[in-house]
C-alpha cells in the first residue's frame, strides 16, 4: 500500500497508526468514555479493575475517561496553535522575502528580538500577566512559534522569488498575494509540510509542559500534562496514575516523529531525472 505515491516503511506505518488512533480518540472521545469528564466514581487512586481499566485519579475520577478527554484538549490545542502559527509565519515570511527592503529588515529584526528571549520564559511572562484561558494560551504559543516558521518560510521564499517563473509573474503585473499564493507556496509546500509535523510535535510537548507547570490548560478540562502534575504524588505510593498520561504524551510524540522522519526522507530523495544522472 502506498501513500502520496510512496511506500511507507514499517516505522512510518507504526507512526501513522499511532497518530490516527489518537486523532480518532480526540474526535470521538465523548462517545467512547464510560463516565463524565469530571465525574468522581471511585476512591483516591483506586487500582485498575473491571469498572476502572486504568484505575482512578487523585479525586476518584476514571483515569481512562480523563485520558480520552485529555487527548481532545491537548491534541486539539496543539493542532490549532500549529495551524495559526503557520498562517502567521508563512504570511509574514513570504511578505518579507517578496517585498524585501525595509519590510524585510523590520520583520527580520523583530523576529530576532523575540528569538533572543528563551521561549519558556517569554510564555510564562505572557501567561502570568494575561492568564491561562485557552484563547490566550493558543495565541501566545502560536505567536512565539510563528517566529520559527517565519525564518523557514522567508528562506524558502528568498530562494524561489528570484526564479524565472516568479519574475515572469511580476512582469505580467501579478500582485504580491497572487505571487505568494500561486507561485511560491506550491513550490515550498513540501518542506513546510514536514516542518508542520515538527512544529506540531513541539507545540504538543510545550502545551503539556505548561499544563504541568500550572499555566497551561486549566481545570475542569482534562489534559495530559495537568494529569501528570495532579497525580505526581502517587509515584511515592507505587501507583501508576501519573504513568498513563506520561505514556500517552510519549507515544504520541514518537508517532508524530516517525511520520515526520518518513516525510523528510521522501523530501530528500532525488527526482527521477536526478536519479537517472
* Confidence class for position 1, pLDDT limits 50, 70, 90: low
Which H or E element spans position 248? helix 243-268
- Output the nine-digit C-alpha cell for 271: 527526482
pLDDT in tens, 215-268: 888 888 888 998 998 888 888 887 888 899 999 999 999 999 998 888 878 766
Mean predicted confidence (pLDDT) in 150-178: 84
Nearest Cα residue to 144 out of 124, 119, 108, 107:
119
pLDDT in tens, 24-55: 988 888 788 888 888 888 888 888 888 888 88
pLDDT confidence of residue 239 = 84
Which H or E element spans position 220? none
Nearest Cα residue to 99 out of 107, 89, 88:
107
**Residue 6 main-chain phi, psi, to 5 deg:** -125, 155
Per-residue buried b or exposed e for 106-123, using 16+ beta carbons within 10 Å of the residue's own CB: ebbeebeebeeeebeebb
Classify domain 10-270 by CATH number.
Answer: 1.10.3720.10
pLDDT confidence of residue 24 = 92
Mean of the per-residue pLDDT values of the chain: 86
pLDDT confidence of residue 92 = 93
* Confidence class for position 59, pLDDT limits 50, 70, 90: confident
Nearest Cα residue to 141 out of 89, 223, 85:
85
CB 224 within 8 A of CB 249: yes
* Confidence class for position 133, pLDDT limits 50, 70, 90: confident
Is residue 272's pLDDT more than 50?
Answer: no
* Confidence class for position 149, pLDDT limits 50, 70, 90: very high
Please state the pTM of the whole predicted model: 0.87
- E-strand ranges in 66-185 read none
Is residue 107's pLDDT more than 70?
Answer: yes
Is residue 208's pLDDT more than 60?
Answer: yes
Amino acid at each position: 500500500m502506498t501513500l502520496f505515491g510512496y511506500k511507507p516503511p514499517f516505522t512510518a506505518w507504526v507512526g501513522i497508526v499511532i497518530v490516527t488512533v489518537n486523532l480518532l480518540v480526540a474526535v470521538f472521545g465523548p462517545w467512547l468514555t464510560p463516565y463524565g469528564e469530571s465525574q468522581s466514581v471511585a476512591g483516591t487512586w483506586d487500582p485498575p479493575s473491571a469498572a476502572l481499566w486504568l484505575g482512578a485519579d487523585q479525586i476518584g475520577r476514571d483515569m481512562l475517561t480523563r485520558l480520552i478527554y485529555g487527548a481532545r484538549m491537548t491534541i486539539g490545542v496543539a493542532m490549532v496553535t500549529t495551524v495559526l502559527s503557520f498562517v502567521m509565519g508563512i504570511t509574514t515570511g513570504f511578505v518579507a522575502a517578496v517585498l524585501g527592503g525595509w519590510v524585510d529588515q523590520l520583520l527580520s529584526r523583530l523576529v530576532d528580538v523575540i528569538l533572543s528571549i528563551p521561549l519558556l520564559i517569554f510564555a510564562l511572562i505572557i501567561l502570568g500577566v494575561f492568564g491561562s484561558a485557552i484563547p490566550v494560551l493558543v495565541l501566545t504559543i502560536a505567536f512565539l512559534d510563528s517566529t520559527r516558521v517565519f525564518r523557514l518560510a522567508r528562506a524558502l521564499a528568498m530562494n524561489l522569488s528570484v526564479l524565472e517563473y516568479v519574475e515572469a509573474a511580476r512582469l505580467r503585473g501579478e500582485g504580491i498575494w497572487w505571487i505568494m499564493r500561486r507561485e511560491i507556496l506550491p513550490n515550498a509546500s513540501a518542506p513546510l509540510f514536514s516542518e508542520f509535523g515538527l512544529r506540531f510535535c513541539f507545540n504538543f510537548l510545550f502545551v503539556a509542559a505548561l499544563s504541568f507547570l500550572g499555566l497551561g490548560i486549566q481545570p475542569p478540562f482534562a489534559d495530559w500534562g495537568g494529569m501528570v502534575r495532579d497525580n505526581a504524588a502517587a509515584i511515592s505510593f507505587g501507583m501508576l496514575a501519573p504513568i498513563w498520561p506520561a505514556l500517552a504524551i510519549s507515544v504520541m510524540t514518537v508517532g508524530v516523529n516517525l511520520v515526520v522522519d518518513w516525510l523528510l526522507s521522501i523530501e530528500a530523495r532525488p527526482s527521477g531525472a536526478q536519479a537517472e544522472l
